[in-house]
Structure 1
């Protein structure tokens, strides 16, 4: 077992192990033992999961109404020299119905109902193992469980044989699997062609770490049926990628291997539940975004006192480094100097932004990226007076977030973790942005050891009351329900690619809500106002000529509209302060929250456009985005309460053009009510942002929206 093993009690609580001990088992019938399906339906009866033994092979099937979502698909394991899934026998069945309403610490909704029917099937094939199904009105989850038993204590997983057999070559939105990165552009292809590189995607030199497909994988099963395949509650287990099954549009689980250990994927100890294999199902794409299935498959909050968990916006000494004006390394162009950081603190304080982060604040950065073993997470660089910065933060009511870029030096980070987190807590720093850029010599970023590393970080952070925003992380699987101090993760190809590569096409940000964001909140780092900014380049710039001619491929209004669309518990205002100063539309970023009481997808098509409305208290914020196509979208405001509201408009101006005039934003203020339908005119690559607040007497002079 790992020398850095997760505490078993902590793991058991997070994974829900205790629930298996309270089941009321009944023997299966002779017909069920011979292959008659065992059926579990959702509370509203619309979705059904079936399980059967087909000549000793466990199989499952999922339907919605009369439509087959997944046809009979096999299940099994290789556990060392044991093969499960060839001669399994039915031992018992347990049924239950779970119904609770819970309140997240933060997120898309003030409260969430979790209502499902469940079935647990106990099987025996050399050892006992269970398959548990939970069927909700918005999808299905199942997982495997290996109970504690005399013949199975510590064991190894060589492979997991979970199949996903589709009925046709559905349209899929996919990225390639990579054991070390999720930073890819999505492509829209038939399922049999899924996993290809997008034309804008730069070639990767790590082909040996590429698999077929990553999750979430989103599919259009029919015109009125959409599906996303993912996993939930990924704890102490490797990331599940997907590989194609020859001979048809089918897929099979492909676990990330432990680096340098041959076919071994995981070292486990009973009792052990695997992550859930999750299937989000909806009639339209927006239903997938509104689904809480992934969260509901995770265990309740494990942190008793959550009063210190405060999501918010932050300003970073960041974009100027990626654009080449400043550097991470010490010298005349260092970004994280005392002067620059104090300027950011003052700007944040003046504009109600609670947090500031400065990349390169600590000692150990070097040109060329090979610095992981040199990073000192306890000591500021020679050009940063950290005490002065923290004093200014306290005076101005702003908090300083630490940045821990490991550079792949994970062992170095583990050695400093306890002392560093204790120091940050003592100094009043409320959180940490971690980073794992670069190769990790002994591990893949997404293998079992690293999954447990991310768990250790979040556990230690919680003990010190620190928030975590992880970059180059493992993908999201909903564990922010259990550990709500895990407020964000990069988890996608972010806007930094617009600084030193061909960048992200406009379709990227209207694909991410229907794909990456199904896994949970993620830090895209939006908010670029000077779309084509190319500053003078530092001679020490680490990117060389990669910055030349780069730009963001949206309008400024699109950047504004990203904030109500993309969920992140720490949401960056990514541009430099001087690009926000004196700009009327910056008011939208000052006002927009990061945590919400209610979320609705008003309409959307994957990769084409989306409109999302989110409520915080009595105020609503609405974001509309389009791809490269100019569009007119109608936005009905029937979600508003009684009375009149002031609609603050931040939209593409008539003369806005993503290529020639991307920065122009039209700001307007009108009176609206629930009967109003907004006609949003979006330029190609454009956006439309609305802030809707209840009208007061002082607003009576404003014109009605026509």
Structure 2
């Protein structure tokens, strides 16, 4: 049930003879710990400040826009009106990390008008929550401003401390970089150009991608991002290392001088700052998703969160291939049926099939998203899967040919609907066509959002790889179920730099995961790839691979390894069979950015709990306090933990499993190996 309360607190109307610089325009969080101040200076330049626990964290920061062939909007403003209000509702996630979400904020809306001859108008809207702030620009309908060709958005975050920062470069093409950990003043994104393991990069500024997370000397945690990215360009943040200033740099296009083209009226995405006293509060924050509009889809019951296997990892290992001509084609009717049988037997709801359609070889003339290879009987496979109670997950790889995909998308979605297939994994590797567009510019933002809207018409849910960043639009369109948007598990199979280091995921949990669900494809049991790729491996223990099903959230979670590796280790497979994917509530029990994290999630419907904990390259001892459990229940806890001699490189498969009974008064101390972790199932 949804509860909404809207209260108008005040409306302040100022005449043209007022002196706005002498008046204070302010909004505070409901708990009073975060305060935002807004004003214009003597030159009419709009600015804002942010304080947390009575300490300035964002000093005087200016706001504005540069346009193509039109004077910039940055000064000569007067404040003509301001209103303040509060809003409090509880809304329900159809699927997600928790069922009920509180959306409670105080709002400040300030209306500005130029004193120059154009008299252009722009509104600044601030929403202040207990877990951070969001603000955006709104351009109302007006006689002297009909179309905006935005050359650059001049949004500043002027920081007051040289924060410890966890960042990847502001790449216009990919998010698949390893995270760096430096002081803010030491960020050097330009040096990350032309990485040998990346298909393409474009990093024109010393900028970082968002979310970018920072930790202060007093333990204050900040994370900068954006919400509700619609019909706009993705934002990176340029770093002034000397003045500790961040400034928006929008992703552009080689085809136009402007980076964003919008008809007036319009509004920008929300610029967001999550603020917390500790690291676990960052993960528990719902700021990003709350800043999005409510669900616009009448029905989402056709999508069911699920675990899935798939014809995928075997290609990355070289056991099989995507294309038919190699003679090692993986997506055959016979092979896929094996995955269907395994999934049906092991409480796994889906099977992803990559390489099913024609076009994987250059000589085939491009992808056809409705025509299977001759050794893959699409009708028979879907019939067999339906008989076994397993859903096929479609795969649409474009190789960057977005123009071709747009032309075929309706036919491809219609085929899926006719077969009863409700989930697609899309991919956009390599340089885009149309030429000159970047993966994170306005063109691709619109493509991804339009794909979701179009997909809903055909009851298709989308898991995008090489995507635009997640910005909480899963609230508005719940068929946006997951996405990649980070350096994923496949880098362990083919990267030349040693794969993802043990610190990678303890950073990801506090950075990329703040934006939304991640299709990381966990569950690799064969840590060393000696049979296929002796120079590559996964840089975690087996216990950590199990923990990822709880730590790294997605409503679709892959059991990514080869079937024979699961069949050879039924003891560890049991956790994958048991673990949930859709959650009633989530508790972050402990954690430090880049070091370790422990998360507990309660499964919807069953009420069972699952706990996962991971660490970086350092061994550590973690105490799990079970006070989150129900007062009256006793749970059987099955604990999957690093063995005494476990080590991510030297002995990754050392796994101990034990069963004990626990209640809310119980505590459990666990030793995590270097690169290790633990997973716990708690059954009533």
TM-score range, shorter chain: over 0.9
Partner SS for 2:659: strand
The superposition leaves residues 430-474 of structure 1 with CA deviations (integer Å, 9 ceiling, x where unpaired) of 111000000002310000011000011001111111110000000
280, 288, 291: which is aligned to 1:294? 288
Matched, 1:316 2:310: yes
| Cα distance between partner residues in 2 of 1:327 and 1:225 | 48
Equivalent position of 1:409 in the other structure: 401
Structure 1: 5+ residue stretches without partners = 1-18, 537-546, 695-706
Contact 1:653/1:666 (8 A) holds in 2? yes
Say how many residue pairs are matched: 660
Partner SS for 2:13: coil
Equivalent position of 1:473 in the other structure: 467
Partner SS for 2:323: coil
Over 3 Å counting, the alpha-carbon distance change for 1:205 and 1:483 in structure 2 is closer
77, 81, 88: which is aligned to 2:65? 77
Over 3 Å counting, the alpha-carbon distance change for 1:195 and 1:610 in structure 2 is farther
Partner SS for 1:362: coil
| Cα distance between partner residues in 1 of 2:38 and 2:425 | 43
| Cα distance between partner residues in 1 of 2:351 and 2:241 | 51
C-alpha displacement at 1:534, in angstroms?
3.4
584, 588, 602: which is aligned to 2:575? 588
Matched, 1:170 2:144: no
Matched, 1:121 2:117: no
Contact 2:236/2:250 (8 A) holds in 1? yes
Matched, 1:60 2:48: yes
C-alpha displacement at 1:200, in angstroms?
14
| Cα distance between partner residues in 2 of 1:99 and 1:481 | 17
| Cα distance between partner residues in 2 of 1:584 and 1:200 | 43
Equivalent position of 1:6 in the other structure: none
Q: How does 1:464-613 map to 2 (within 5 A)?
A: 464-501=458-495, 502-536=498-532, 547-581=533-567, 582-613=569-600
Equivalent position of 2:321 in the other structure: 327
Matched, 1:629 2:618: yes
| Cα distance between partner residues in 1 of 2:217 and 2:144 | 46
| Cα distance between partner residues in 2 of 1:585 and 1:32 | 69
Equivalent position of 2:84 in the other structure: 95
| Cα distance between partner residues in 2 of 1:635 and 1:31 | 58
List 4+ stretches of structure 1 deviating above 4 A. Answer: 22-25, 29-32, 195-208
Over 3 Å counting, the alpha-carbon distance change for 1:629 and 1:443 in structure 2 is same
| Cα distance between partner residues in 1 of 2:21 and 2:546 | 59
651, 674, 680: which is aligned to 2:641? 651
The superposition leaves residues 215-264 of structure 1 with CA deviations (integer Å, 9 ceiling, x where unpaired) of 101011333311001000000000000112364111100000123323x1
Equivalent position of 1:422 in the other structure: 414
214, 220, 235: which is aligned to 1:219? 214
Matched, 1:431 2:423: yes
Partner SS for 1:510: helix
Range moving further from structure 2, 243-252 or 202-211: 202-211
| Cα distance between partner residues in 2 of 1:41 and 1:49 | 6
Contact 2:169/2:192 (8 A) holds in 1? no
C-alpha displacement at 1:381, in angstroms?
1.0
C-alpha displacement at 1:325, in angstroms?
1.2
Equivalent position of 1:9 in the other structure: none
242, 245, 248: which is aligned to 2:240? 245
C-alpha displacement at 1:68, in angstroms?
1.2
Over 3 Å counting, the alpha-carbon distance change for 1:195 and 1:303 in structure 2 is farther
Contact 1:177/1:195 (8 A) holds in 2? no
| Cα distance between partner residues in 2 of 1:676 and 1:31 | 63
Contact 1:468/1:486 (8 A) holds in 2? yes
The superposition leaves residues 495-525 of structure 1 with CA deviations (integer Å, 9 ceiling, x where unpaired) of 1000001200010011101000011111111
Range moving further from structure 2, 193-202 or 55-64: 193-202
Contact 1:35/1:53 (8 A) holds in 2? no
Partner SS for 2:548: helix
Equivalent position of 1:674 in the other structure: 664
Partner SS for 1:585: helix
The superposition leaves residues 148-194 of structure 1 with CA deviations (integer Å, 9 ceiling, x where unpaired) of 12222222111110011001211111110111100111111000122
Contact 1:513/1:565 (8 A) holds in 2? yes
Equivalent position of 2:3 in the other structure: none
Partner SS for 1:561: helix
Equivalent position of 1:10 in the other structure: none
C-alpha displacement at 1:210, in angstroms?
4.4
C-alpha displacement at 1:79, in angstroms?
2.7
Partner SS for 1:158: strand
| Cα distance between partner residues in 1 of 2:379 and 2:199 | 42
The superposition leaves residues 273-311 of structure 1 with CA deviations (integer Å, 9 ceiling, x where unpaired) of 100000100000110110000011000000011211211
C-alpha displacement at 1:548, in angstroms?
4.9
Equivalent position of 2:183 in the other structure: 190
C-alpha displacement at 1:201, in angstroms?
6.8
TM-score (norm: length of structure 2): 0.94
Contact 2:233/2:260 (8 A) holds in 1? yes
Partner SS for 1:229: strand
CA RMSD, Structure 1 to Structure 2 (Å): 2.0
Contact 1:142/1:276 (8 A) holds in 2? yes
| Cα distance between partner residues in 2 of 1:524 and 1:205 | 19
Equivalent position of 1:39 in the other structure: 26
Contact 1:147/1:270 (8 A) holds in 2? yes
Contact 2:174/2:200 (8 A) holds in 1? no
